[in-house]
Amino acid sequence: MRKYEMVVILDPSIDERTVGTTFEKLVQVIPAEGGTIDEVDVWGKRKFAYEIQKKTEGVYVVLSFTAKSETAKELDRQLGLNESVLRTKLMRLDAK
């Protein structure tokens, strides 16, 4: 199992107070596959430097988790299919 960090940009129309619980439902594939969610950090609404899908701002969420590489790929795929997710960036953290 490896450590990963994922930045997810959600549609700005989502209520910021419910982002944490909504996001927990989106990432259920991690514990279902034997991984662990280490931290969910909601940064809130931020403006973009350029438009993404005709939107000028989005809700940023940073997720730290430990999982197998197949689980991380599946999570990225599932989030890409969700209409409320504008963009994702998955990074594997190096062991130091």
Q: DSSP secondary structure string, 15-84?
A: -GGGHHHHHHHHTTHHHHTT-EEEEEEEEEEEEEEEEETTEEEEEEEEEEEEE-HHHHHHHHHHHHH-TT
Task: Check residue 11 and report its DSSP letter.
Answer: -
Query: Stretch 38-61: mean pLDDT, rounded?
Result: 92
Per-domain boundaries in the chain: 2-59+70-92
Percent of the chain, pLDDT > 90? 64
Superfamily of chain region 2-59+70-92:
Ribosomal protein S6/Translation elongation factor EF1B (3.30.70.60)
Q: Confidence band (pLDDT; 50, 70, 90) for 18?
A: confident
Query: Stretch 16-43: mean pLDDT, rounded?
Result: 86
Average the pLDDT over each of 7-11, 21-25, 29-33 and give the range with the smallest value.
21-25
Look at residue 96 in the predicted model and tell me its pLDDT: 60
Q: Confidence band (pLDDT; 50, 70, 90) for 95?
A: low
Look at residue 85 in the predicted model and tell me its pLDDT: 92
